Amino acid sequence: MRSAPLTLLLSAFLCAIGCSDGGDGGGETGGGGGVDATSGTGGAPGVTTGTTGATTGTGGAPGVTTGTTGVTTGTGGAPGVTTGTGGTDGTGGGTGGSDGNTGGGGSTGGPAERTPAASASTLREAGEKANPPLLIGAAISASGLNDGNYSRVAAAEHNYVTAENEMKWDALEPNPGQFSWGSADRIVSWAQQNNMKVKGHTLVWHSQLPGWMNNLRGAQQVEQAMRRHIENVMGHFKGKVEHWDVVNEAVLTDSDTGVGNPRMRPTVFYNELGEQYLDLAFKIAREQDPSVKLYYNDYSIDARNDKADFVYEMIKGMVERGVPIDGVGFQMHIGPPNNEAGGEDVAYNLKRFADLGLEVLISEMDINRCGNQVTAEEQLTYYHDIVEACFLMPKCVAVTFWGINDGRSWLNSWSTAMCNGGNSQSLLFNDQYQKKETYNRVMDALLGR
Ligand code: G3I
């Protein structure tokens, strides 16, 4: 499953599937709205509204922070709401928000390319100096922060934080209605001290769910508990956590590699509420805070496989129903037990989801060498080409690595990861916090090399 080296192939590929989307400025999309509260204006309905090219696109503000996507009838953001909506398919012109912060955004507005920094001494700097900027994230554990080297490298190299376990349901609400914020608060305040953004991970997920929640039965009980959890958690972190993984890993296949019989995962949420639990979770989340970004997040949707296709259709349906989703996180756990995906596969998937009018993110990247299923050389190629695929796409807003140093990786002790307590060699730093060659390859991709 290894891919060819990328730069040329990727450019050719992007052209093949739509060079003319110049800036994803998007002639194929509905009209873009204004970029501020007062100037939001709708594009006229129809396929001709979006203009092409990075410089002339009439979509929302450059980059990926514009409004979420409308379906057939773009409508303005409600007063005070930050996201207007634009049309996706040319049938609906978006209208600017009446007094929302961003007005209606053309779903595909923004520049065609991301320009790399001329130089950078950290990944974080490379991301911040890129135009548009790219967030460089890491999964952070509260216990890791006790180690001065861990904390120093984490803050120097990243500007985006996902709590590895501390914001999961069992950590935050171990008993019904009783919340425990200690470790999560610690990570958030550390992030604030270091000028890092935080992604909340994760509101609705079948794993690390306390027993009492798993045992609830009946739609009413499950909906009430889900609502209480989302309200309390988002309320507690309001103003501090700007992005949320609202639903995580809702889809299952026979193999963890994303192959075979894709279907909705049977969880307490799905079993009691049906597939509409996703719509409901996003709507409840949006009610709590109109300004945060709301994401769906999953693994093994990085390659071209059954699961990626199924999740694509699921998300497309949500967009068409007007569910308030802002983006999709591609976890990018490469190697056992998950999928292998080359840069071309990743570019293909990022683009088709972005073309729904969504942001895309690489949300949990690591590349497992256990079992030697991924060779050292393949690992370097994957790191470069996958990060490059995101970097080349302005709608790809973040690359997060799932940990800092190899010795702390979840893979080392994960039963199906083939490590058996050994070292997965999966990340960018060794256990003396020295940069590995994987780091250099990521830096190359961020600097356009
Ligand atoms: O906290 C307990 C501790 O009290 C106990 O003594 C110890 C004994 O095993 O377990 C500790 O809990 C572990 C927890 O990590 C905290 O270290 C769990 O056993 C272990 O299963 C858990 O693993 C986490 C895993 O999610 C659970 O699903 C990994 O650290 C974490 O990296 C991983 O992260 C997930 C993302 O959230 C979603 N995407 C996949 C990704 C990798 O699996």
Tokens encoding 257: 């590699």
With pLDDT > 70 as the criterion, what percentage of the chain qualifies? 76
Q: Would you call the peptide bond into 79 cis, given omega within 30 degrees of 0 as the criterion?
A: no
Range of the domain at 226: 10-40+112-446
Confidence of residue 110 (pLDDT cuts 50, 70, 90): confident
Give the three-class secondary structure for 431.
coil
Alpha-helix runs per DSSP H in 239-276:
268-273
Would you say the CB of residue 364 lies under 6 angstroms from ligand 1? yes
Encode pLDDT of 115-151 as tens digits.
999 999 999 999 999 999 999 999 999 999 999 999 9
- pLDDT for residue 78 is more than 90: no
Would you say the CB of residue 378 lies under 6 angstroms from ligand 1? no
pLDDT score for 49: 28
With pLDDT > 90 as the criterion, what percentage of the chain qualifies? 75
pLDDT score for 112: 86
DSSP state letters, 365-403:
EEE--GGGSS-HHHHHHHHHHHHHHHHT-TTEEEEEES-
- pLDDT for residue 20 is more than 50: no
Query: In this structure, is residue 322 part of a structural domain?
Result: yes
Query: In this structure, is residue 384 part of a structural domain?
Result: yes
Which of 62, 87, 111 is a domain's end point?
A: 111
Tell me which of 28, 157, 223, 249 is the catalytic residue. 249
Backbone angles phi, psi at 295, to 5 degrees: -120, 150
> For the chain, give me the number of helices (H) and strands (E)?
13, 13
Q: What integer is the mean pLDDT of 316-339?
A: 98
- pLDDT for residue 21 is more than 90: no
- pLDDT for residue 404 is more than 80: yes
Residues 309 and 197 in one domain: yes
Q: What integer is the mean pLDDT of 244-267?
A: 98
Encode pLDDT of 181-236 as tens digits.
999 999 999 999 999 999 999 999 999 999 999 999 999 999 999 999 999 999 99
Would you say the CB of residue 401 lies under 6 angstroms from ligand 1? no
Atom of ligand 1 nearest to the CA of 207: 28
Encode pLDDT of 2-17 as tens digits.
333 343 333 333 333 3
Q: State which H helix or E strand residue 223 sits in.
A: helix 219-236
Least confident of 13-27, 190-204, 236-250, 405-419: 13-27
Residues 70 and 97 in one domain: yes
Q: What integer is the mean pLDDT of 86-107?
A: 33
Residues 235 and 347 in one domain: yes
249 is catalytic: yes
Calpha distance 390→365 (Å, rounded):
12
Q: What integer is the mean pLDDT of 425-438?
A: 98
Encode pLDDT of 207-218 as tens digits.
999 999 999 999
312-to-4, 131, 424 alpha-carbon distances in Å? 24, 28, 30
Which of 111, 132, 149 is a domain's end point?
A: 111
pLDDT score for 109: 57
Residues 102 and 132 in one domain: no
Rounded to the nearest angstrom, the distance between the alpha carbon of 250 and the centre of ligand 1 is 18
Q: Which of 161, 165, 364 to mutate to test the pocket of ligand 1 (most atoms within 8 A of CB)?
A: 165
Tokens encoding 275: 């597939």
Residues 75 and 125 in one domain: no
Rounded to the nearest angstrom, the distance between the alpha carbon of 367 and the centre of ligand 1 is 18
Give the three-class secondary structure for 69.
strand
Give this prediction's pTM: 0.80
Task: Say if residues 24 and 112 touch (Cβ distance below 8 Å).
Answer: yes
Tell me which of 157, 223, 359, 364 is the catalytic residue. 364
Residues 36 and 51 in one domain: no
Query: In this structure, is residue 172 part of a structural domain?
Result: yes
Rounded to the nearest angstrom, the distance between the alpha carbon of 137 and the centre of ligand 1 is 19
Calpha distance 134→391 (Å, rounded):
7
Confidence of residue 299 (pLDDT cuts 50, 70, 90): very high
Would you say the CB of residue 164 lies under 6 angstroms from ligand 1? yes
